[in-house]
């Protein structure tokens, strides 16, 4: 892979990581009053997939969308202001972290009802196809989502109509506190289940951003050339609690040692090692990236804090499109 | 201009056709849309004219396909979905309520979902508990959705066109027993505005606000009562949400008596909302408590012997009015009912469904 691409991927993941850590750090100030589902540990999937997309391509996502939003080019100030509930937020404060959107970047929406964005993403692809527009629509979801019937309805239709969709399943093995084994049969791989639907279906290491990038590249190219949808399952791990800024490896549903093992596979550290080992980047380069990112993020936080809350009259506005 | 008379199902067909001709982003999908029966004739011939890319059948996946319709609207299309029975839409309530109705508001007014969902309610011929329900109250409860229930062929065509041209999600509820009624319908494309009631019969003694097929029953009740010197004003509600409160209030101020006749169950039904609104805004004008004529709060039985006891019709509305104004005449007695069969509407409706 080209060094420039690798450096961009690293920058993207670093930006996501630092922002998520900042949100976790400031959350106890109680000014971000909405549920936050942080992407720490899962940065490579959003970064690797979205690096293959243009602003013309569409993305929809779920409650854990920060990485997807940022990697797709979503506006940072608007995102942070939204989490702070301000009128400069991407939804004027009406959506919060679980409803990020940036139309100009092609990020059409994050939805917290698990699996709900999947049929909508298929519809976006369907509409694009009807309008003869050359766009690919990508939708991100987790392992829990595939237990919803609507996912199978959606993929059935995507295959039937040969739609330009990339389905990206981030399998982090947990649905809140429920482990995989109480929800799905042992010994059955998610990507193989979907192969039964007649969709090209692959599995990859979600913490290896190069692998993610290359698999997504193929899927995107396939969709854009009119050759239909692809299902990608990436195995990964969520570092923090399902919702909130803390670690919770001690409350009993998983173990500290399991977390530590996955931490060894940190997607940032793995790429950083590769870049440093191969002379593509040096420590100074990493420091420069970090410094730049921290300034940008600090500015976004300040912007959010200084922004006003939405005016009272916005309460009853936009119920209907008049 | 000479108006021709056509049946309601033809008016629906014409509305869809004319919308598709004038706007290439309009398309229609639903189980059985291209079928030989053409959804009670409402979609007959459309696929032949507009092609299968725009007039399409769909997999039995109501929830998923509603999401698909929503997504296609985001991409710039204007979908019409149709369910042959309102009950099938229940599988899609998550997409309709969580997604379509909230979308414009929750994303700060940046995107719209111009989706029309045609839902068909009905009764008779033993349709039973899951094929005859009338759930408009559920949809009317949700902000962000518009709910339209016309009763005449003229209004049906005009309101369907308005619904398709509206940028919001619209639930358009048709009654199977209205599909075959005849009325004057202009040939051209025209709009009837969403959000307006219509006074379909002027009167002085009592206001009956009605929805869908009950408007016809209310008009019939008015005829029955006219013979006994009672003058009933009938208001066809037409749009349940947003509700045209001022037309209803104006009528109540005129008559001082108010009844709502709705096709759904009584408890927490449309009547409950409209009566509450009238009580809040015109309490001092009321000469007696407002009443509701609605289905009993029980599931719908299939057998015709029980169905005969189930559905309120003109004679029940007339009796309710008569009691309200103190005349106390019972119009439901056998001698007045005669040989009226309660389980069959217009002679033009014949099973199986």
Q: What is the CA radius of gyration of chain B?
A: 20
Burial category of B253 from C-beta neighbours within 10 Å (exposed 0-12, middle 13-18, buried 19 and up): middle
- Helices H / strands E in chain A, number of each: 11, 8
A95 touches chain B (CB under 8 A): yes
Report the CATH number of the B4-185 domain.
3.40.50.970
Average the pLDDT over B314-326 and give the result. Answer: 96
Q: Which residues of B touch A109 (CB under 8 A)?
A: 103, 107, 111
Residue B344 vs residue B250, higher pLDDT? B250
Nearest to A94 among B61, B108, B111 (CB): B108
Cβ of A120 and B99 within 8 Å?
yes
A262 to chain B, closest Cα gap in Å = 35
Cβ of A127 and B105 within 8 Å?
no
Q: Tokens in use for B220?
A: 């019939």
Other beta carbons within 10 angstroms of residue A61's beta carbon come to 28
Q: Which residues of B touch A130 (CB under 8 A)?
A: 27, 53, 72, 75, 77
> Rounded distance, CA B189 to CA B9, Å?
16
B195 touches chain A (CB under 8 A): no
B63 touches chain A (CB under 8 A): yes
To probe the interface with B, which of A62, A85, A92, A127 has the most B CB atoms within 10 Å?
A127
Cβ of A160 and B66 within 8 Å?
no
B98 touches chain A (CB under 8 A): yes
Domains, chain A, ordered by start = 3-307 (3.40.50.970)
A99 touches chain B (CB under 8 A): yes
Task: Write out pLDDT tens, residues A37-63.
Answer: 999 999 999 999 999 999 999 999 999
Q: Where are the domains positioned within chain B?
A: 4-185, 198-337
Backbone angles phi, psi at A273, to 5 degrees: -55, -45
Q: Which residues of B touch A97 (CB under 8 A)?
A: none
B237 to chain A, closest Cα gap in Å = 20
Given this model, what pLDDT does residue B123 score? 83
Q: Provide the 3-class DSSP secondary structure of residue B161.
A: helix
Given this model, what pLDDT does residue B343 score? 52
Q: From B70, which residue of chain A is nearest by alpha-carbon distance?
A: A120
Find out whether A74 and A105 touch, Cβ atoms under 8 Å: yes
Q: Cβ neighbours of residue A3 under 8 Å, at least 6 residues apart?
A: A280
Q: Which residues of B touch A94 (CB under 8 A)?
A: 105-108
Cβ of B61 and A317 within 8 Å?
no
Cβ of A91 and B167 within 8 Å?
no
pTM, full prediction: 0.96
Angle between helices A209-224 and A3-26 (to 10 degrees): 110
Task: Write out pLDDT tens, residues B15-31.
Answer: 999 999 999 999 999 99
Q: Which residues of A touch B66 (CB under 8 A)?
A: 119
A210 touches chain B (CB under 8 A): no
B277 to chain A, closest Cα gap in Å = 19
> Rounded distance, CA B85 to CA A223, Å?
36
B340 touches chain A (CB under 8 A): no
Q: Categorize the per-residue pLDDT at B349 as very low, low, confident or very high, splitting at 50, 70 and 90.
A: very low
Backbone angles phi, psi at B179, to 5 degrees: -55, -30
Given this model, what pLDDT does residue A137 score? 98
A257 to chain B, closest Cα gap in Å = 39
To probe the interface with B, which of A113, A130, A320 has the most B CB atoms within 10 Å?
A320
Burial category of A17 from C-beta neighbours within 10 Å (exposed 0-12, middle 13-18, buried 19 and up): buried
Give CA angle at A11 (A10, A13), nearest 5°: 65
Cβ contacts from A onto B, under 8 A = 145
Given this model, what pLDDT does residue A171 score? 98
Q: Looking at the annotation, which residues of B are catalytic?
A: 62, 131
Nearest to A95 among B61, B63, B106 (CB): B106
Cβ of A120 and B74 within 8 Å?
yes
pLDDT at B114 over 60: yes
Cβ of A153 and B63 within 8 Å?
yes
B309 to chain A, closest Cα gap in Å = 40
Given this model, what pLDDT does residue B307 score? 83
Task: Write out pLDDT tens, residues B252-292.
Answer: 999 999 999 999 999 999 999 999 999 999 999 999 999 99
Report the CATH number of the B198-337 domain.
3.40.50.920
Q: Categorize the per-residue pLDDT at B351 as very low, low, confident or very high, splitting at 50, 70 and 90.
A: very low
Q: Categorize the per-residue pLDDT at B126 as very low, low, confident or very high, splitting at 50, 70 and 90.
A: confident
* Omega cis (within 30) before B352: yes
Task: Write out pLDDT tens, residues A192-223.
Answer: 999 999 999 999 999 999 999 999 999 999 99
Cβ of B67 and A90 within 8 Å?
no
A201 touches chain B (CB under 8 A): no
Cβ of B104 and A149 within 8 Å?
no
pLDDT at B336 over 80: no
> Rounded distance, CA A245 to CA A250, Å?
15
| Domains B4-185 and B198-337 fall in the same CATH topology | yes
Given this model, what pLDDT does residue A104 score? 98
């Amino acid at each position: 892979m080209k060094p420039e691409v690798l450096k961009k991927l690293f920058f993207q993941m670093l930006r996501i990581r630092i922002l998520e850590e900042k949100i976790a750090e400031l959350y106890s100030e109680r000014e971000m009053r909405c549920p936050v589902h942080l992407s720490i540990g899962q940065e490579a999937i959003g970064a690797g997939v979205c690096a293959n997309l243009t602003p013309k391509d569409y993305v929809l996502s779920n409650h854990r969308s920060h990485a997807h939003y940022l990697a797709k080019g979503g506006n940072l100030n608007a995102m942070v202001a939204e989490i702070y509930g301000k009128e400069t937020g991407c939804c004027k404060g009406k959506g919060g972290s679980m409803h990020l959107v940036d139309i100009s970047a092609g990020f059409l929406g994050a939805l917290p009802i698990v699996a709900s964005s999947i049929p909508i993403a298929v519809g976006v692809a369907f509409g694009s196809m009807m309008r003869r527009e050359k766009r690919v629509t990508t939708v991100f979801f987790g392992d829990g989502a595939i237990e919803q019937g609507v996912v199978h309805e959606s993929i059935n239709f995507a295959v039937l109509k040969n739609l330009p969709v990339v389905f990206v399943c981030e399998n982090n093995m947990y649905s809140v506190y429920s482990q995989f084994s109480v929800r799905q049969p042992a010994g059955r791989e998610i990507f193989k289940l979907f192969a039964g639907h007649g969709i090209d279906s692959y599995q990859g290491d979600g913490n290896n951003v190069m692998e993610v990038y290359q698999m997504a590249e193929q899927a995107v190219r396939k969709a854009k050339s009119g050759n239909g949808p692809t299902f990608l399952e990436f195995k990964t791990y969520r570092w923090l609690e399902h919702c909130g800024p803390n670690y919770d490896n001690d409350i009993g549903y998983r173990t500290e040692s399991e977390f530590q093992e996955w931490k060894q596979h940190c997607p940032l550290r793995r790429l950083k090692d590769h870049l440093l080992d191969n002379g593509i980047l040096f420590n100074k380069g990493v420091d420069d990236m970090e410094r730049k990112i921290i300034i940008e993020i600090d500015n976004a936080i300040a912007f959010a804090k200084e922004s006003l809350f939405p005016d009272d009259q916005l309460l009853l506005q936009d119920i209907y499109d008049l | 201009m000479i108006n021709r008379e056509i049946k309601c199902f033809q008016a629906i067909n014409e509305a869809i056709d004319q919308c598709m001709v004038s706007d290439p982003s309009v398309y229609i999908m639903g189980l059985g849309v291209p079928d030989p029966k053409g959804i009670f004739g409402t979609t007959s011939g459309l696929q032949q004219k507009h092609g299968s890319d725009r007039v399409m059948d769909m997999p039995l996946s109501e929830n998923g396909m509603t999401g698909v319709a929503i997504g296609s609207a985001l991409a710039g299309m204007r979908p019409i979905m149709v369910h042959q029975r309102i009950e099938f839409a229940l599988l899609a309530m998550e997409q309709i309520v969580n997604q379509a109705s909230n979308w414009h508001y929750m994303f700060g007014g940046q995107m719209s979902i111009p989706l029309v969902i045609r839902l068909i309610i009905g009764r008779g011929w033993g349709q039973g508990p899951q094929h005859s329900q009338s759930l408009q109250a559920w949809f009317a409860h949700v902000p962000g959705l518009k709910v339209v229930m016309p009763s005449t062929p003229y209004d049906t065509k005009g309101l369907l066109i308005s619904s398709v041209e509206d940028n919001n999600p619209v639930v358009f509820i048709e009654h199977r027993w209205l599909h075959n009624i005849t009325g004057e319908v202009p040939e051209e494309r025209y709009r009837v505005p969403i959000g307006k009631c219509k006074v379909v019969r002027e009167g002085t003694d009592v206001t009956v606000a009605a929805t869908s097929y009950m408007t016809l029953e209310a008009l019939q009740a008015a005829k029955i009562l006219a013979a006994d010197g009672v003058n009933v004003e009938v208001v066809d509600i037409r749009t349940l949400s947003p509700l045209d409160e001022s037309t209803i209030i104006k009528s109540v101020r005129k008559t001082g008596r108010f009844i709502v006749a709705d096709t759904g169950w009584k408890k927490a039904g449309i009547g409950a909302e409209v009566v509450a609104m009238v009580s809040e805004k015109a309490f001092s004008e009321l000469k007696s408590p407002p009443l509701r004529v609605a289905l009993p709060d029980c599931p719908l039985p299939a057998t015709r012997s029980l169905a005969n006891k189930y559905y309120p019709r003109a004679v029940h509305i007339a009796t309710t009015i008569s009691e309200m104004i103190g005349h106390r005449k019972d119009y439901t007695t056998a001698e007045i009912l005669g040989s009226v069969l309660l389980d069959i509407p217009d002679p033009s409706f014949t099973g199986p469904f």
